[in-house]
């Protein structure tokens, strides 16, 4: 019986440094290029001299230059990593809101993880790489929860990736989400400035809670809330929702894990359909009325173009499964 060919990691590789990687440290270059290889292993093959630049030895902190040819020795990945190489994610395209040579913006559907890991074999980025085999680089600029739909940025150049991530880190972007929450949100409550603490459950799943400012693990977290509409409860849910529902526009000034979900729930107005921080009995009732997912959508994103520095805004309208919960006309609020 013929044997399957070895995965690419089991053979010597030659990598040529591109223009965008000019001046990058060797270790950082290899960490990005050799996905799935532990950092400790990358440093070992550099120290041992198995990695060669233009046939000569090279150090981890040496800077690579365009045209450098790097010899990468055979690398044995873990069985899981080899499986991913032999059985890659299925190719999939996603709705594109914007695209140029530097980056693209897609409208991510709910229920799809942005990347593989934590029990998920693959996500948006792995599927897009398979769908665009000629793309030199596709990297996530930021994250969205698996259950959240809406705007997701993907860089096509390393320079764009760095420029965009710098904007996110320095809080220079404007990220606004639309959320449907239980009850009547107080119009006067516009700023949620409460630190968050991230922890793990016994099974390793991430959770977040509001904490005190003197908590050594507290993360400064700010969400701005605006009431977009008041929505009466469906006829069969008036007992469970005596104050109906509120449609909110939430702009986050910090990008913490589950920030909006935890802030809104802590305020007594959990997001409809939230299976981690929501009202679970209400979620079951809403599901019977057709809301099968969490009502949280990354709606608007404002930033500066990573190349031209010009201000730019993107919008992703509510998907059909959420639009049906926003009747028109609705009571608008200032």
Bridge-based pairing of strands 103-108 and 96-99 is antiparallel
How many Cβ atoms are within 10 Å of 223's Cβ, its own excluded? 23
Residue whose pair of structure tokens reads 């526009």 in the numeric block: 249
Taking the C-alpha atoms of residue 146 and residue 265, their distance in angstroms, rounded to an integer, is: 18
Omega before 329 within 30 of 0, i.e. cis: yes
Helix (H, G, I), strand (E, B) or coil at 148: coil
Q: With beta carbons less than 8 A apart as the criterion, state whether 300 and 250 touch.
A: no
Helix (H), strand (E) counts: the chain: 8, 17
Measured between alpha carbons, how far is 148 from 104 in angstroms, rounded to an integer? 19
Is 100 an annotated catalytic residue?
A: no
Please pick, among 18, 61, 107, 145, the residue that the annotation labels catalytic: 145
Phi, psi of 298 (to 5 degrees): -75, 100
User: Would you name the residues annotated as active-site residues?
Assistant: 145
């Amino acid at each position: 019986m013929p044997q399957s060919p070895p995965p690419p990691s089991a053979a010597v590789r030659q990598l040529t440094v591109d223009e965008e990687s000019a001046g990058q440290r060797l270790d950082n270059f290899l960490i990005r290029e050799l996905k799935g290889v532990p950092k400790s292993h990358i440093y070992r093959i550099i120290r041992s001299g198995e990695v060669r630049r233009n046939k000569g030895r090279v150090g981890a902190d040496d800077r690579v230059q365009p045209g450098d040819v790097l010899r990468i020795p055979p690398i044995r990945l873990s069985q899981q990593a080899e499986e991913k190489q032999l059985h890659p994610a299925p190719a999939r395209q996603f709705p594109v809101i914007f695209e140029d040579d530097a980056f693209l913006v897609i409208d991510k559907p709910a229920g799809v993880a942005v990347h593989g890991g934590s029990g998920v074999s693959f996500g948006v980025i792995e599927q897009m790489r398979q769908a665009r085999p000629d793309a030199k680089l596709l990297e996530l600029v930021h994250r969205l929860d698996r259950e959240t739909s809406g705007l997701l940025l993907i860089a096509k150049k390393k320079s764009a990736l760095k420029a965009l991530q710098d904007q996110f880190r320095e809080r220079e972007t404007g990220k606004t989400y639309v959320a449907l929450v239980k009850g009547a949100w107080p119009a006067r409550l516009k700023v949620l400035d409460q630190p968050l603490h991230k922890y793990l459950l016994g099974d390793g799943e991430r959770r977040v809670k509001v904490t005190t400012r003197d908590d050594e693990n507290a993360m400064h977290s700010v969400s701005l809330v605006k009431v977009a509409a008041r929505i009466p409860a469906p006829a069969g849910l008036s007992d469970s929702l005596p104050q109906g529902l509120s449609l909110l526009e939430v702009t986050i000034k910090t990008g913490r894990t589950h920030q909006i979900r935890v802030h809104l729930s802590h305020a007594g107005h959990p997001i409809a359909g939230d299976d981690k921080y929501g009202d679970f009995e209400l979620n079951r009732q809403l599901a019977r009325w057709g809301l099968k997912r969490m009502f949280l959508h990354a709606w608007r994103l404002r930033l500066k173009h990573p190349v031209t520095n010009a201000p730019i805004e993107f919008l992703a309208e509510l998907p059909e499964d959420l639009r049906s919960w926003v009747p028109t006309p609705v009571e608008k609020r200032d």
